[in-house]
Amino acid sequence: MICQLIHDLKQQADMTVTRACALAGMPRPTFYRISRGYQHYQPVDEPVPHRQRRQPAALTDAEKEQVVDALCDPAMEDRSVVQAYWSTLDEGKIACSQRSFYRVANELELVGDRRRGRHCGTSAARVKPAAAAGAPGDLWTWDITLLPGPRRSFFRLYLAIDVYSRYPVAWRVEPDETATKATEMFLDAFDRHGAPALLHADNGAAMRSNELAAALEAVAVQRSFSRPRVSNDNPFSESLFKTIKYDLDHPARFDSIEHARRWTSEFLHRYATEHHHSALGYYTPCQVFTGTAEHVRATRQQTLDRAATLHPVRYSQPPKAPALPTTTGINLS
């Protein structure tokens, strides 16, 4: 009946099959199948999904085992699935297509790096770092970023911060990145502020250098590293770099390395002593790092109490000064 309606629409209204099928509510392939007399198709009440059907040309269990043996052969551990297929085919060990070979590998999760070192414990997997800071000195993080210089050149800003207080404990601007300069920066910071319990960093050459490792070991500082290509493992340093580069006074390019050092010194001093950090209860990094934030909080509370006494109608409940920061850290949740 519906097919006849579609035929009538085509003839009387000069309508395309696609448009007529849409008006009649019938899929176009169904119309073609019925109208052309494809009688071999017999609808069933409970059709079997295509994935669950047994295909006549499918590999037997024995043939699949041959594919698995080929993929797990130690001689193939450093080769891709495609390379393993052609090598095994040339040796006469399998009799299937490349696509079937790859399909079996994918089903058994054998696609990818099959080297023993990746799966058999010969090299340690890089675990997700986690570190907590409940007081100044518990955890420092550091990184190196680029500052634009003249004529498309760049300077390197080395910067370390105390995570609990966000206080910049060490920095320097240099034309290059070396382990020696990084080590000198930290030794000077240890003399001024004491050594932290843990130092977290990315995976740069300076961060993982033997020279810096020896200096940290000498003062019993533990080391922690981000996973490769995971910027969220070092969020505090990355966040401060963004704050620096988005500052309204940040030059498009520094005229010289002296200019970069002077501007960075002024910015970090302003950031440490004047920036009311939202994650610190709007206390400054310097106040939290030096322990004067408690006194500032008490002064704030006195000011708020006095304002509430003078203008009680302005407050629905007694105002409270923001609390001091609590434990924070890397990947705690």
| pLDDT on residue 40 | 57
List beta partners, residue 229. Answer: none
Cα 55 to chain centroid distance, Å, stands at 42
Q: What is the DSSP letter of 244?
A: H
Looking at per-residue confidence, does 149 or 18 come out higher?
Answer: 149
Long-range CB pairs of 264-267, under 8 A, 24+ apart, other chains included? 264/147, 264/157, 264/171, 264/173
Fill in the amino acid letter for 74. P
The Cα 255–Cα 193 span in angstroms is: 32
- So what's the pLDDT on residue 6? 66
Phi, psi dihedral angles at 96 (to 5 degrees): -150, 170
What does each C-alpha distance from 149 to 24, 153, 237, 244, 266 come to in angstroms? 69, 5, 21, 15, 18
- Secondary structure of 259-273 in HEC code, one letter for each residue: HHHHHHHHHHHHHHH
How far, CA to CA in Å, does 247 sit from each of 6, 242, 251, 270?
68, 8, 9, 11
Least confident of 123-132, 194-203, 306-315: 123-132
Angle formed at CA 196 by CA 126 and CA 260, multiple of 5 degrees: 90
Closest by Cα among 201, 146, 143, 151 to 176: 146
State yes or no: pLDDT of 88 exceeds 90: no
- What percentage of residues in the chain have a pLDDT greater than 90? 57
Instruction: Report residue 182: phi and psi, to 5°.
Output: -65, -40
Predicted confidence (pLDDT) per residue in 156-192, tens digit: 999 999 999 999 999 999 999 999 999 999 999 999 9
pTM of the model: 0.64
| pLDDT category of residue 18 using cuts at 50, 70 and 90 | confident
The pLDDT mean for the chain works out to 87
